[in-house]
Amino acid sequence: MLSRVLHYLLPLLLSATLCPGALAADQIIWGKHHVPPYMIREGPLAHQGIFDLTLDVLKENLPQYQHVELGAPFPRVISEIKRGAHWCYIGTLKTPEREGDGYFSLPTSIFLPLRIIVRRDRAAQFAGPQSLQRLLQNSQLVTSVMRNRSYSPTVDRLLTSYPPRESYSEQAEAISMLLAGRLDYMIELPLLAFDQARLMGRPDELVAIATLEADEVVFNRVMCPRNAWGKKVIEQVNTVLDANRDKPYYRSIVEKWHDPASVAEIRKIYDSVFLKTP
């Protein structure tokens, strides 16, 4: 009898453990993965990433929810949001395709333009600016892209037209492959790529090359599922953002980890573009 009861109860208990958002309407599962310096999940600087600190602002100002941070690869996070679970993610780009799966907040932080990232010892081969389209068309060069990631409108269109053969779930995996010579180049944010290489004990081994097509600044947002619960959460998130994004402490979060030249670029667009973008 006991074994029969356990047979029926065990799947329910496992479901509750793995999908706690299914049990409480007042709980938000925040998907988190290790992508320093945006999300820092481990080490002495844990939870000091740009997305981490921005999330702290939301958690502090949304006390009506139980906030649970759950480590998961980015594709899994997007999958949970798509299926309508009570998951959200801070740091997503809004695209027409994703708007069919979720609701998006006002911008929370800024991504400066993507670059072609290569090993320093191959920089002469990729003297820039480079045409990303030509690189993607060159079957002799190997690159890899993150599954379910949106890079920027221009880059997304090029990747759709010329899809790379390789893909990955974690940035550290791809940076390791680039440093090892298993990838020829990556399309990435210099801040992210350089920091990953530093954490791997390989500082100054990567360089960033400008592209001819993609020089876009894009904004990160909170994404929640496209259902009544997700819409309500996003409305409340927007209220918090409206009240805090123009404050000095919030500006310092957006600028954190950037070099002085990048900070200057962020400041040029913060009031005129970032705060005025719906």
Contacts of 181 (CB under 8 A, 6+ apart): 119
Q: Which two tokens stand for residue 254?
A: 């957006």
- Indicate whether 2 pLDDT > 70: no
Euclidean distance between CA atoms 266 and 278, whole angstroms: 18
Q: What is the pLDDT of residues 214-238, one digit of tens each?
A: 889 999 999 999 999 999 999 999 9
Amino acid 15: pLDDT? 38
Amino acid 127: pLDDT? 87
Dihedral class, residue 228 (left if φ above 0, else alpha if ψ from -120 to 50, else beta): alpha
3: number of Cβ within 10 Å: 6
What percent of the chain is predicted at pLDDT more than 90? 85
Phi–psi pair at 27, nearest 5 degrees: -115, 135
Euclidean distance between CA atoms 76 and 98, whole angstroms: 15
Amino acid 4: pLDDT? 38
Q: What is the pLDDT of residues 89-126, one digit of tens each?
A: 999 999 999 999 999 999 999 999 999 999 999 999 99
Euclidean distance between CA atoms 36 and 47, whole angstroms: 10
Q: What is the pLDDT of residues 141-199, one digit of tens each?
A: 999 999 999 999 999 999 999 999 999 988 889 999 999 999 999 999 999 999 999 99
Q: What is the pLDDT of residues 232-266, one digit of tens each?
A: 999 999 999 999 999 999 999 999 999 998 999 99
One-letter amino acid of 66:
Q
Q: What is the pLDDT of residues 24-82, one digit of tens each?
A: 559 999 999 888 999 999 889 999 999 999 999 999 999 999 999 999 999 999 999 99
What stretch of H or E contains 209? strand 206-209
Residue written as tokens 């390989």? 202
161: number of Cβ within 10 Å: 10
Residues 95 and 219: beta-carbon distance below 8 Å:
no
